[in-house]
Chain A
Amino acid sequence: MKLYCLSGHPTLPCNVLKFKSTTIMLDCGLDTTSVLHFLPLPLVHSPRLSKLPGWISKDGAVSLEKRELLDLSTIDVILISNYHCMMALPYITEHTGFTGTVYATEPTLQIGRLLMEELVNFMERVPKAQSATCWKNKEIQRLLPGPVKEAVEVWTWRRCYSMQEVNSALSKVQLVGYSQKVELFGAVQVTPLSSGYSLGSSNWIIQSHYEKVSYVSGSSLLTTHPQPMDQSSLKNSDVLILTGLTQIPTANPDGMLGEFCSNLAMTIRAGGNVLVPCYSSGVIYDLLECLYQFIDSANLGSTPFYFISPVANSSLEFSQIFAEWLCQNKQSKVYLPEPPFPHAELIQTNKLKHYPGIHGDFSNEFRQPCVVFTGHPSLRFGDVVHFMELWGKSSLNTVIFTEPDFSYLDALAPYQPLAMKCVYCPIDTRLNFHQVAKLLKEVQPLHVVCPEQYTQPPPTQSHRSDLMLELQPPPMPYRRCSVLGLPFRRRYERIQLLPELAKSLVPSEIKPGISVATVSAVLHTKDNKHVLQPPPKPAPVPPSKKRKRVVEEPPELVTPKPLLSGAVPLEPFLALLHKHGITEVKVEDTPDGHILHLQAEDTLIQLEEDGTHIVCDSNEPLRATLRDLVLRFLQKL
């Protein structure tokens, strides 16, 4: 059993597990931090941005996971744990020879599709003067200025995929529900479990009959909108692969949510606008719910909230229709019937308005001061670029970062100098180290595999020894390009007995509760399933004496010799010998048992725990008698 680690990013994992002749890819996250090396893509040409020194205006690009480690066409299935971890899917399934299946839950597929569409839309709608790739050549890159020169592995940077590729990739997705068991080639069974992080987010169990591997990726124990995490099914794992812990272990989501609200209220009260760069699904639902409660208490009822994204409408509506994937208290609302999320009410009362983009309706209704939620959190593309340009000059305005994926200082760099206030309230509801320690104590896996980042305190806070995994035995760390041999050996395989064969068995009890029988059968193996079938009947004696070919003959059935079990007790045995006229017996104790010396017969009987030997030269009748006497004490199978 081997694990190939294609991504070193702890929250955007991409691992491949080889287990019992199957090759399973676990997630394919897309690390888009490389876009921070590029200039923002404004809808209209911005002379300021294009003249920034040290930056080059280029097409958006993303960093792909290491591909040389493994031939992607050999991958049988891809298991997706949440919509953030599937953004690289088109790069894996398209133009690589991939022929397998992708498994994901319905909300993951739908919202993942929205996020991909949004990404493609953001990239494609901006007119680009030119497209170049020569600069990726190491020799040329060296000559380039600024941060690009230092960027590593630029050859792995790729152009953004197209809508066609997205559609093709997503057509390979097979939908699954929580706790649904999916057989893969009869060899293993995979099951998604609720992970509590986002709509439809799942952890996966990959098990054979005797081995269990759990894959935990992006889980949350907080009570937010999704169904709560299923912890108990993770119990008794041989290996637990742990990824997707919180990226900001020092920031408690509740505190950050409070901080978000108070900064927002403070800005609005002072007459400024608030910009929230965010993804169009996920934490935004919780932000809106929190604001729904906060708006009235903070007297913000008259302030407009705008949500701008090409997929804003779908995102808000999708969230309302996946009732079965929501937490209990939201599910129960559906029966009232009420929309599960309160943002429906915000929309109804006109407090929240959503638009596909900044042109059109939005420009007519735009009112300030206001709060705008829009993407992309990297501030490199999407409508957020426009608002940064618009509001950056006034110190009354505030930009509040809630997504932890990007360094907010790097994201802001091309907008400097900036008068606008910047607040960093990263909200990451995924497990923190304290929760993980508790979880692992509960589910007791034999071995834990995790990114190496989790085995030491964060580099910026080396004194925080509470921000790392401390386990016994210590977790197995992986890094990008690692190939780990998982530390357990497969010892058993399940074999089925056909009923007629089972009927023919004659078990005999050798210990209370344990019965044994001998089996003679033919082992039949197909599709990783093993079946014992009754041996074929011996062919009737052919009428002709024509010689047949040996190969055609059914295997000769030899009745196996009976198997013996039990022990020979010394005293009764001596009594029995005596009864049979053997009186002169000298008993000698040995470490393993006894040696009986039949002096008159000049014979030795060695009684040992796992064998009995009769040493009797040339007196076959006596040996046979003795043998029969010994056999009287033993059971035959």
Chain B
Amino acid sequence: MMDPDCAELLPLVCEVLANPDRALPDDTCLEKLLDWFAALTNKAPGLSLLELNPCLVSFISSVCTSKSAEPSVLAFALKLAGLLASNERAFPLLKEEGIMKNAFEYQGWMESSVWEDATVRSGWIHGLQNVLKHWQAMQFVLENGLLKAILRLQSDRSLFVASATNQLLACILTFPTSPAGHLSVKEARTTERKNERNACCGHDSPERNEGAAQIVEHVEESLTSRVPFRAHQSLKLIALSLTGCQPHVREVLWQKTVEAKEMLMGNGQSSLVQPFLEVLRAAARTHLFTEGNFGVVTLMDDVLCSLKPMLAVPFATGIIHLDNCPQTLKNKATAIILRPLDHVAALVLSQKTCSGVVRESDFEHSVWEEQLSQKSSCISLLCLSLSGTSELLGLESLREDICVQPVVLSVTTLLKICEGGPFFTSSSSSVSRAVRNLIGCSRVQKCVLDTMAALSHCPGSDVYAEDILSVLLLVLQNPDTDQNVFKKALQTALNWLCSGSQSRSVNSFLNKDVFPMLKKRLCDVRWEVRDSSLEFLTHLTLQLQEDLSYCETLSSSGIWDFLMALLNDPESYVRASAICALGQMAYVTCPVKGPPSGSSVQEELFVHFVEILAQDTEGFARRAVIKVFSYWLRHPPLQPLEKMEKHLGTVFQLGSDDLDWEVKVHTLELAQIVIDEILETSSQTSCPYSIIPSARCKGRDLTESLRKLHHLMIFNTLFSGLLDCDRPVAQQACRILLDLKEVIIDHTDIVDKTVVFDLQGCKWGQDILKKHFEKHSITTAIQVCVDIEELLQSLDLEGRQRALEKSSDHMENSPRSLMQDILAAAHTVEENIVDCY
């Protein structure tokens, strides 16, 4: 329901809008207003909106009758009328009042000069589309001859209008035959009901059929009109409506398309090829595809072979995703996708098509050859083919159909070519041309790497791991490799390294090739490269942390010192990544040259990280530190963390005083982990053997836990977080405090009141104190020491949470504020005019 404030403002706003002399703040306010009405009509039952706000009707009526308002206001009124009339109960009322006729009668608009403005035409179309939610509206459209006007607008000179018209026409064609869209079988059987429904939704009504016939006729005319734009629009309409329309309409539409096929396809040059393919794709999702007599499959098959390669590959990629697709078609599509890859590999390796699925006779060999010999088309085509191959490999159903080996051969060859690597061939000119296009081409490299990554998931691909990794190493070692390609290559390598089962060979590869390369890359001039290398190390370690031999290799690689050096990198991203990598590595390994026994690696690092938290000037590094701590606490290491606890207080102190809100949020997450752990241990250790833990024992432990939390400065963190001006921080703190409150209140009788805060002594104390006193209506600050339970109860945490849930701009975004803006803008202009005189 509309709130009273808004209801009060609405008539004034309507008045301003209806007055052509008043200015509007900007166009977007009308859109926002419409959004609000759309939400209201969805929520409010039936008539109420109209009945409660008569100003709306008079607004629409006056604007549409005078036709003198701004085009944007006219369009708004039309869309609004549509919205209001979309309600089945409101429709008759509007019809009675003459609003429908006023707003949507075509004749009236045609005669007006405002019709020249595309905004108005577009408003009219959108208004109609808004209405078409029920059969009465449909009837209105059909009976008043609006269809003719709509069909005329399908080839409107404004592309926006033309496209909206297509949507509307599709809406008419796919208008549901039952209110629910389709009948369930059970429902359909009760004939009585069916007839009833038919009456109310016009199923098979003559008007409806006539309407559909009219559209079909128009479509047929357009398709054969030789006016490309008209044909284009109609093809789009067919594509839009084919899946949703009634079967007999669908069949007719399909029929018409097939008849015009020759003209539409031309010799592959026509601009209509693309929309024609859209129709084919739409047809493939209907019963036309599965029922053989419509020839969809045959047509697709033919089209696939005659299309230009740049269109054929994406079309084939669409086909492989189709359900119920006949195997032959799927095979052909697969062959088309793999063809450019095959071609390049065959050129270079002087072998006939490697994948063996392509039948040469099916294709115009020369066209493909030509495309691959030109630089721009060669690169685009290969990229299309590669991304199609990745999709193919991603489809489990199709994986068996592809022979992985030739694909591996093709992609490795391609990557080698991009690297300028040698290959064995007689140097024919076509080869050298193709090869020259590809040397150093990072676009192709990226696509190849994606495909390689997809290959790693294929069953049985393990055997190629060595080949793939050796080519990847070439890319990684090449100093000219683009940093994005480098990153991708590392990600791909990670896929292969982690998917392999033979850890022995992986480890020797890591030891012999990867770690020396990484060491150099960690000293690279480009920070992106250093960063990617660190990320790779982090992920690799995470994946292989269970693998003992990996941990040994890592420990003896000497990479640890390089990471330590990177903690002082000038680039903050790199420092952050180094922190993450060390955090991960410290967790699984002890460096050979580690610190002397007594303090563990992790402890040393902990101290170092706390320093970074205190001193680093950039947020990324500090965030990383807190995240690493969270990770460590969540995944307890081999050595107990007790020694670190002495520093945790400092961490919370620093974290909650940080200037970066993300650091604060992460600190709160860390607090949550610590709280969970401490409370959990307290409940566990209470009395492991007794079935019902004794209340006293439990109370003592809880008090102990709370004291510990207090000691770790966690309450400090939570309360200052609660008052933080950054919403996510306050929300997180509030959530944690609410949980704590629940625990404490549950045991309110057994908690010793020993966790006490001196509110005047802490930064957040003053504000909390104020809230606390407000609650207890104490005016003088006598009591400055409050215990935790009292404090939690005095703070209206629930209220605070509700307030925080609303976004900070909820006031600015409210419809009330919107309407006030409209009114204010209208008045300001008026005042300005007065000032001028």
Given known A-B contacts A297-B569, A297-B570, A269 and B436 have beta carbons under 8 A apart: no
Given known A-B contacts A270-B558, A464-B420, A465-B427, A262 and B521 have beta carbons under 8 A apart: yes
Question: Whole-angstrom distance from the CB of A287 to the nearest CB of chain B?
Answer: 12
**Chain A contacts for B420, CB-based, 8 A:** 250, 461, 464
A-B interface, 7 closest residue pairs, ranked by CB to CB distance from nearest: A265-B523, A255-B479, A465-B432, A255-B480, A262-B523, A259-B479, A258-B525
Closest-by-CB residue of A relative to B417 is A463
In the complex, A257 has a CB within 8 A of chain B: yes
25 contacts between A and B (CB under 8 A): A255-B480, A256-B479, A258-B525, A258-B526, A261-B524, A262-B521, A266-B519, A266-B520, A269-B523, A269-B562, A270-B561, A290-B525, A294-B525, A297-B571, A299-B565, A425-B479, A461-B420, A461-B422, A463-B423, A463-B427, A464-B420, A464-B439, A465-B427, A465-B432, A466-B435
**Chain B contacts for A463, CB-based, 8 A:** 422-423, 425, 427, 432, 435
Closest-by-CB residue of B relative to A294 is B525
Judging by beta carbons under 8 Å apart, are A298 and B436 in contact? no
- Bitwise, B334-366 to A at CB < 8 A (1) or not (0) is 000000000000000000000000000000000
Closest-by-CB residue of B relative to A464 is B420
- Which among A257, A299, A425, A465 is the interface contact of B525 at CB below 8 angstroms? A257
- Bitwise, A463-482 to B at CB < 8 A (1) or not (0) is 11110000000000000000
In the complex, A462 has a CB within 8 A of chain B: yes
In the complex, A252 has a CB within 8 A of chain B: yes
In angstroms, Cα B419 to Cα A252, docked, is 13
- Which among A252, A259, A269 is the interface contact of B565 at CB below 8 angstroms? A269
The B-contacting residues of A in range 256-300, CB under 8 angstroms, are 256-259, 261-266, 269-270, 290, 294, 296-299
Closest-by-CB residue of A relative to B478 is A255
| Interface of B (DSSP majority class) | loop
Judging by beta carbons under 8 Å apart, are B427 and A262 in contact? no
Residue among A263, A298, A463 with most chain B CB within 10 A? A463
In the complex, B568 has a CB within 8 A of chain A: yes
- Which among B480, B522, B571 is the interface contact of A252 at CB below 8 angstroms? B480
Residue among A258, A263, A294 with most chain B CB within 10 A? A258
**Chain A contacts for B561, CB-based, 8 A:** 269-270
Question: Whole-angstrom distance from the CB of A255 to the nearest CB of chain B?
Answer: 4
| Interface of A (DSSP majority class) | helix
Where the two chains meet, the residues of B that have a C-beta atom closer than 8 Å to any C-beta of A are 420, 422-423, 425, 427, 432-433, 435-436, 439, 478-480, 519-526, 558, 561-562, 565, 568-571
**Chain A contacts for B433, CB-based, 8 A:** 465
Q: How many of chain A's residues have a CB under 8 angstroms from any CB in B?
A: 30
- Bitwise, A194-216 to B at CB < 8 A (1) or not (0) is 00000000000000000000000
- Which among A256, A264, A296, A465 is the interface contact of B435 at CB below 8 angstroms? A465
In angstroms, Cα B435 to Cα A299, docked, is 42
Judging by beta carbons under 8 Å apart, are B523 and A261 in contact? yes
Judging by beta carbons under 8 Å apart, are A465 and B436 in contact? yes
Question: Whole-angstrom distance from the CB of A483 to the nearest CB of chain B?
Answer: 31
Judging by beta carbons under 8 Å apart, are A262 and B436 in contact? no
Judging by beta carbons under 8 Å apart, are B524 and A262 in contact? yes
Judging by beta carbons under 8 Å apart, are B523 and A266 in contact? yes
Judging by beta carbons under 8 Å apart, are B479 and A299 in contact? no
**Chain A contacts for B480, CB-based, 8 A:** 251-252, 254-255
Question: Whole-angstrom distance from the CB of A251 to the nearest CB of chain B?
Answer: 8
**Chain A contacts for B522, CB-based, 8 A:** 266
Given known A-B contacts A269-B561, A465-B427, A466-B439, A263 and B520 have beta carbons under 8 A apart: yes
Closest-by-CB residue of B relative to A268 is B523
Closest-by-CB residue of A relative to B429 is A465
Closest-by-CB residue of B relative to A465 is B432
> With A262-B520, A270-B558 given, can you name 10 additional A-B contacts, CB distance below 8 Å?
A251-B479, A255-B480, A256-B479, A258-B526, A297-B569, A463-B422, A463-B423, A464-B420, A465-B427, A465-B436
**Chain B contacts for A265, CB-based, 8 A:** 523
In angstroms, Cα B558 to Cα A266, docked, is 11
Question: Whole-angstrom distance from the CB of A314 to the nearest CB of chain B?
Answer: 30
**Chain A contacts for B423, CB-based, 8 A:** 463
The B-contacting residues of A in range 93-109, CB under 8 angstroms, are none
**Chain A contacts for B525, CB-based, 8 A:** 257-258, 261-262, 290, 294
The B-contacting residues of A in range 225-258, CB under 8 angstroms, are 250-252, 254-258
Question: Whole-angstrom distance from the CB of B515 to the nearest CB of chain A?
Answer: 12
Closest-by-CB residue of A relative to B438 is A466
**Chain B contacts for A461, CB-based, 8 A:** 420, 422
In angstroms, Cα B422 to Cα A463, docked, is 7
The B-contacting residues of A in range 14-38, CB under 8 angstroms, are none
Residue among A425, A462, A464 with most chain B CB within 10 A? A464
**Chain A contacts for B478, CB-based, 8 A:** 255
In angstroms, Cα B420 to Cα A254, docked, is 17
In angstroms, Cα B833 to Cα A535, docked, is 89
**Chain A contacts for B425, CB-based, 8 A:** 463
In angstroms, Cα B480 to Cα A270, docked, is 24
In angstroms, Cα B477 to Cα A425, docked, is 13
In angstroms, Cα B570 to Cα A266, docked, is 17
**Chain B contacts for A462, CB-based, 8 A:** 427
In angstroms, Cα B520 to Cα A262, docked, is 6
In angstroms, Cα B477 to Cα A259, docked, is 10
In angstroms, Cα B520 to Cα A269, docked, is 11
**Chain B contacts for A264, CB-based, 8 A:** 523
Judging by beta carbons under 8 Å apart, are B568 and A299 in contact? yes
**Chain A contacts for B520, CB-based, 8 A:** 259, 262-263, 266
Judging by beta carbons under 8 Å apart, are B422 and A258 in contact? no
In angstroms, Cα B565 to Cα A466, docked, is 41
**Chain A contacts for B565, CB-based, 8 A:** 269, 298-299
Closest-by-CB residue of A relative to B432 is A465
Question: Whole-angstrom distance from the CB of B561 to the nearest CB of chain A?
Answer: 7
**Chain B contacts for A294, CB-based, 8 A:** 525
In angstroms, Cα B433 to Cα A262, docked, is 35
In angstroms, Cα B524 to Cα A298, docked, is 9
